[in-house]
């Protein structure tokens, strides 16, 4: 039968026959869903009517209509419910008193029953009424229990699991007293510091105090303070009482089967809102929480004794909630009375607390309580700008707030807050890129343990002293730097001034030597020229040292045939030796060893490997000659020292060059059979002023090392394995080193 909805209309019924007929007619045209809300009596009456039961069965089997029935399932109607469960979704709701049907979301049927009058009914398709009751049905349906669960409860005589919210202090007290009446074994309570007054100064006290007489165990957790101690002492007479620092929440559990939690309340007043639940899983969870807190709590007797003596029990708490950590930070600053010590893990940690308002609280603590505050933190421009005001005498509390800056090697991953050497808060840094503290921190530990707090205080004092030393060292380093700059400028100026008169002395003495035939005069002129040459090399070395240390030494690179350069230099040395004139040109090494002209019982041999002949390399030609000349002069000097009077033995000096294909380098080697490297030079051979000679300055090898490294190479030396002489080596890259060409070093 097809249903044709009329215009909106409402009809009233005044007998059960008329209502039954209307219900049967509705069942004939429903095509989508049939929702019925019936009390425990009406469900039995309707299902007892054969036509209605058949109509319901046809909806599910023949038409595939969704049938939902909401009722109160009791022992009296459970058999009728079982008959229609295969063809309908059925749910249970305690104490339901409504009787209505919504068909296809467009027709409403409502019924009212009375013991003294005929049943009354209403049928309407008025949209507003239908939608209102459809909404009501959905709300009740979502709050109900599936019939299968309810039937198990009836079979095993279990209470209906539900959660409800109670409002109003009188209503809450009434239900609380009712719960106490039905308690059988135990009653566990956990409240904040206001809880004891609620129990003692309220209508529930007399009933609560009577529970132990019925054999019921009472356990109570709260924060015992000086203010609520009188209530706690009274509680202690009837229950087991324990103290837990800063405990939050107000809840109770009766017999492990019923849980209640109230909103925060004023002292001595009941809460205005209470959640009650007997859902087993939820109650068991809350019971577990209570047992955990109970195991950590302190017996009330000990806490009361501490308050009376003015002492605190040691504790160490781990805090996971970052919001709780920030809140605790504020509270600790507010309760400070003597001193606050802070270590920030990073500069960002410092700035996050500036944004969070902690520094305003610190300044307030200094103003209100005269608290002295010391802060250690890494620094940056923002922090330096922010903390400058604490250094100014115009700042009101500049003597109370001190900030020092940590160096990187003193930084940690933990920020510390120490208050009055009584409390410590250590906060782990989790993600330093975050803008807010609550997003940046991880676990935190909060403690009043004396050993813990004093250990942190000792660490702080150590860091404070070290930061003070660093600041002083920085000041001294700056003074030394300025002195060093002035000294280098003076030496540079002096070297330039010395070189100016040396040039004409060398030039004129050379001219006179060539033109003068007087042997005695030649000897004097030779001495003058030799010492002028020595002074010339010394001033050049000094200038090179100042350029190196001032990072202004420049290389003038060009393509050079290195084999030809070395060969020419060695030939020049060998010719000078053979002519016994090395003293006129290069008989002094760069360390300035002073020797008279004499026969040098040495020979210089150059033997490059075949693969380096005619190799072109990009270097500063004059600087490479300077390095190689210095090494050859040192070798000649060492060989000459080895000479034994009356012994004409020749001590050859070998210069060689080879190519390393794997590293693309050229290695130049100068080896002698002289006295070798003194053991005292180990580790400092290429440093400034390192020398074992009486007249040397120890600058030659230092300059050579820097020139080689400026080319991208390296230099080293070692004594020969046969115990005679030493070998010096340096490398030059075959490829141009990026950024080195004509650049500063």
Q: In this predicted structure, what is the pLDDT of residue 47?
A: 64
The answer to whether 406 and 467 are in contact (CB under 8 A) is yes
The answer to whether 21 and 111 are in contact (CB under 8 A) is no
Q: How confident is the model at residue 497 (pLDDT cuts 50, 70, 90)?
A: low
Give me 517's structure tokens: 């035939």
Q: In this predicted structure, what is the pLDDT of residue 439?
A: 92
Coil/strand/helix, residue 374? strand
Q: Which of 459-468, 497-506, 536-545, 595-604 has the highest mean pLDDT?
A: 459-468
Q: In this predicted structure, what is the pLDDT of residue 352?
A: 92
Looking at per-residue pLDDT, the higher value among 431 and 18 belongs to 431
Q: In this predicted structure, what is the pLDDT of residue 77?
A: 84
* pLDDT value at 481 more than 60: yes
Quick one: three-class SS letters along 733-745? ECCCCCCCCCCEC
Tens of pLDDT, residue by residue over 230-272, are 999 999 999 999 998 888 888 999 998 899 988 766 665 777 8
Count the neighbouring beta carbons within 10 Å of the beta carbon of residue 588: 24
CATH no. for 163-309: 3.30.870.10
Give me 444's structure tokens: 């935190």
Would you list the domain boundaries of the chain?
10-156, 163-309, 316-448, 462-552, 553-733
Looking at per-residue pLDDT, the higher value among 739 and 189 belongs to 189
Q: In this predicted structure, what is the pLDDT of residue 165?
A: 85
* pLDDT value at 496 more than 60: no
Flag the least confident range among 129-143, 302-316, 587-601, 716-730. Answer: 587-601
* pLDDT value at 542 more than 70: no
d(CA 678, CA 687): 14
Q: In this predicted structure, what is the pLDDT of residue 234?
A: 93
Looking at per-residue pLDDT, the higher value among 440 and 479 belongs to 440
Closest CA to 599 of 527, 534, 649, 528: 649
CATH no. for 10-156: 3.30.870.10
d(CA 385, CA 537): 51
Q: How confident is the model at residue 451 (pLDDT cuts 50, 70, 90)?
A: confident
Please give the radius of gyration of the chain, using alpha carbons only, rounded to the nearest integer: 50
Coil/strand/helix, residue 190? strand
What is the average pLDDT value for the chain, to the nearest integer? Answer: 80
pTM over 0.75: no
Looking at per-residue pLDDT, the higher value among 668 and 699 belongs to 668
Q: What's 610's DSSP letter?
A: G
CATH no. for 553-733: 3.30.565.10
- Of all residues in the chain, the percent with pLDDT exceeding 70 is 77
pLDDT, mean of residues 568-588: 65
The answer to whether 192 and 247 are in contact (CB under 8 A) is yes
Coil/strand/helix, residue 520? helix
Q: In this predicted structure, what is the pLDDT of residue 152?
A: 83
Report in angstroms the alpha-carbon separations of 367 from 398, 399, 401.
Answer: 11, 11, 11
Question: Does domain 462-552 fall into CATH 1.10.287?
Answer: yes
pLDDT, mean of residues 185-190: 94
Q: In this predicted structure, what is the pLDDT of residue 417?
A: 94
pLDDT, mean of residues 52-62: 72
Q: In this predicted structure, what is the pLDDT of residue 419?
A: 93
Q: How confident is the model at residue 163 (pLDDT cuts 50, 70, 90)?
A: confident
pLDDT, mean of residues 359-368: 89
Closest CA to 221 of 236, 238, 201, 241: 241
Q: Which CATH class is domain 316-448?
A: alpha beta
Tens of pLDDT, residue by residue over 117-130, are 566 788 899 999 99
Flag the least confident range among 12-16, 122-126, 149-153, 384-388. Answer: 12-16
- Of all residues in the chain, the percent with pLDDT exceeding 90 is 24
* pLDDT value at 213 more than 50: yes
Task: Tell me whether the CATH fold assigned to 10-156 matches the one assigned to 163-309.
Answer: yes
Q: How confident is the model at residue 501 (pLDDT cuts 50, 70, 90)?
A: low
Q: Which residues pair with 10 in a beta bridge?
A: 124
Burial class (CB in 10 A: 0-12, 13-18, 19+), 527: middle
Closest CA to 413 of 468, 370, 349: 349
Q: Which runs of consecutive H residues, i.e. helices, occur in 260-299?
A: 280-296
Q: In this predicted structure, what is the pLDDT of residue 742?
A: 34
pLDDT, mean of residues 180-198: 90
């Amino acid at each position: 039968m097809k249903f044709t909805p009329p215009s909106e209309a409402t009809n009233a019924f005044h007998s059960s026959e008329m209502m039954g007929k209307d219900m049967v007619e509705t069942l004939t045209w429903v095509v989508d869903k049939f929702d019925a809300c019936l009390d425990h009596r009406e469900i039995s009456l309707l299902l007892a009517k054969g036509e209605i039961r058949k109509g319901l069965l046809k909806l599910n089997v023949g038409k595939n209509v969704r049938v939902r029935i909401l009722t109160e399932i009791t022992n009296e109607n459970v058999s009728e419910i079982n008959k229609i469960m295969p063809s309908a979704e059925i749910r249970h709701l305690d104490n339901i008193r409504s009787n209505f049907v919504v068909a296809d979301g467009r027709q409403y049927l409502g019924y009212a029953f009375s013991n003294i009058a005929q049943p009354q009914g209403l049928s309407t398709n008025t949209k507003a009424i239908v939608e209102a009751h459809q909404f009501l049905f959905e709300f009740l349906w979502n709050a109900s229990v599936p019939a299968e669960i309810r039937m198990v409860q009836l079979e095993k005589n279990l209470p209906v699991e539900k959660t409800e919210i109670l409002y109003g202090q009188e209503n809450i007290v009434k239900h609380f007293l009712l719960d106490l009446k039905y308690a059988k074994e135990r009653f566990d309570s956990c409240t904040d510091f206001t809880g004891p007054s609620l129990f003692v100064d309220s209508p529930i006290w007399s009933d609560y105090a009577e529970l132990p007489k019925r054999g019921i165990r009472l356990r109570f957790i709260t924060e015992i303070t000086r203010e609520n101690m009188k209530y706690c002492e009274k509680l202690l007479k009837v229950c087991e009482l324990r103290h837990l620092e800063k405990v939050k929440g107000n809840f109770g559990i009766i017999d492990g089967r019923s849980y209640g939690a109230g909103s925060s309340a004023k002292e001595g007043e009941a809460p205005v809102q209470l959640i009650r639940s007997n859902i087993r899983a939820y109650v068991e969870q809350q019971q577990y929480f209570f047992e955990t807190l109970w195991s950590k709590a302190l017996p009330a007797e000990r806490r009361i004794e501490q308050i009376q003596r003015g002492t605190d029990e040691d504790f160490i708490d781990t805090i996971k909630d970052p919001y709780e950590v920030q809140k605790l930070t504020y509270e600790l600053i507010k309760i400070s009375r003597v001193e606050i010590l802070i270590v920030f893990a990073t500069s960002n940690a410092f700035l996050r607390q500036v944004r969070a308002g902690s520094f305003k609280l610190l300044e307030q603590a200094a103003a209100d309580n005269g608290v002295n505050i010391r802060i250690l933190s890494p620094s940056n421009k923002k922090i330096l700008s922010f903390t400058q005001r604490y250094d100014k005498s115009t700042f009101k509390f500049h003597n109370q707030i001190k900030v020092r800056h940590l160096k990187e090697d003193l930084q940690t991953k933990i920020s510390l807050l120490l208050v009055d050497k009584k409390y410590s808060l250590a906060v782990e840094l989790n993600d330093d890129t975050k803008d807010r503290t609550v997003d940046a921190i991880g676990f935190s530990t909060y403690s009043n343990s004396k050993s813990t707090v004093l250990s942190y205080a000792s660490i702080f004092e150590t860091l404070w002293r070290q930061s003070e030393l660093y600041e002083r060292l920085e000041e001294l380093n700056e003074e030394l730097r300025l002195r060093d700059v002035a000294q280098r400028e003076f030496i540079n100026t002096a070297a330039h001034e010395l070189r100016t008169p040396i040039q004409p002395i060398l030039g004129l003495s050379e001219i006179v030597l060539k033109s003068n035939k007087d042997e005695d005069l030649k000897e004097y002129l030779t001495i003058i020229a030799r010492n002028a040459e020595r002074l010339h090399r010394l001033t050049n070395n000094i200038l090179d040292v100042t350029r190196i240390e001032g990072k202004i030494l420049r290389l003038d690179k060009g393509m050079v045939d290195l084999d030809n350069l070395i060969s020419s230099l060695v030939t020049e040395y060998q010719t000078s030796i053979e002519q016994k004139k090395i003293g006129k040109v290069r008989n002094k090494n760069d360390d300035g060893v002073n020797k008279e002209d004499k026969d040098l019982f040495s020979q210089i041999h150059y033997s490059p490997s075949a693969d380096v002949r005619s190799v072109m390399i990009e270097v500063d030609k004059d600087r490479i000659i300077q390095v190689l000349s210095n090494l050859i002069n040192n070798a000649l000097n060492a060989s000459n020292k080895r000479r034994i009077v009356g012994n004409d033995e020749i001590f050859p000096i070998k210069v060689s060059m080879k190519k390393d294909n794997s590293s693309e380098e050229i290695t130049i080697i100068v080896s002698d059979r002289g006295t070798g490297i003194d053991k005292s030079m180990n580790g400092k051979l290429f440093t400034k002023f390192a020398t074992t000679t009486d007249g040397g300055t120890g600058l030659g090898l230092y300059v050579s090392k820097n020139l080689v490294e400026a080319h991208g190479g390296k230099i080293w030396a070692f004594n020969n394995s046969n115990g005679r002489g030493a070998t010096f080596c340096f490398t030059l890259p075959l490829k141009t080193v990026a950024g080195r060409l004509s650049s500063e070093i």
